[in-house]
Structure 1
Amino acid sequence: MRKSELITAVYQELGQTIEKRAVRKAVNAIFEDIAAGLERGDRVEIRRFGSFEVKHYPPRKSRNPRTGETFDLGPSCLPRFRPGKTIIAQINGRGSRRN
C-alpha cells in the first residue's frame, strides 16, 4: 500500500466527513512524528500495531568482493519495525485478537 492509497482508505473509512486534504495532513503528521521520535532515539509504539526503534550497529571491517580490498565501515543506525501480536495474528489468518 502506498501512502496515497492509505490516505484514500482513511478518507473513505471516515465516510468522507472531512476533507481529503485534512486526512493527508493528519497522515503526514503521524509519519513525521514517528520519524522525529526515531531521530531523537525514542522508541515509538502504536498499540496492537507494532513498534519502531533505531538499531545501532558498531563499526566493523568490510571487504570489496570485486577487489578483495578490506576497509573500515563506521557505525550506522537503521530503523526497525516489530509488528504487534494483533498484526501477526491477522497476517497468519487467525483474525484480530485484542489484548
Structure 2
Amino acid sequence: MIVSGGFNVFPREVEDALTGHDAVSVAAVYGVADDKWGEAVTATVVLRPGHEVTPDELIRHVKSVKGSVQAPKQIRVVDELPRTPVGKIDKKALRAQWGPRS
C-alpha cells in the first residue's frame, strides 16, 4: 500500500488501470519518497509491440478510471521490468532508480 497525501493507494488497482490501456502490456506501481506527498504514486510500464503512448496520456487514463488520488505522479516507459530470482517484478530495484522528490 502507498500512502500519498494521507490517502491509501493500492498498487494493484493502479496497475489494473494501466494495463487496461491498449498500449500497456505490463505495469509496476510503487511509492517513492516525496517531500510534498509522503509517497508519490509512481509507475514503470512496458508497452505492447507496435504501440506508443506518452506518460502524460497514461496519467490521464488512470485519472479517468480511478481518479486523481490514484494517478501516478510520474511514469517511466521501459523495454522490460527487472525481475527477482524467482521471477517476480523487482519493485525495490525500480524504486531505487528514482531519487526522493522535492
* TM score, norm. by length of structure 2: 0.23
The structure whose residues are more often strand, as a share, is 2
Larger radius of gyration: 1
The structure whose residues are more often helix, as a share, is 1
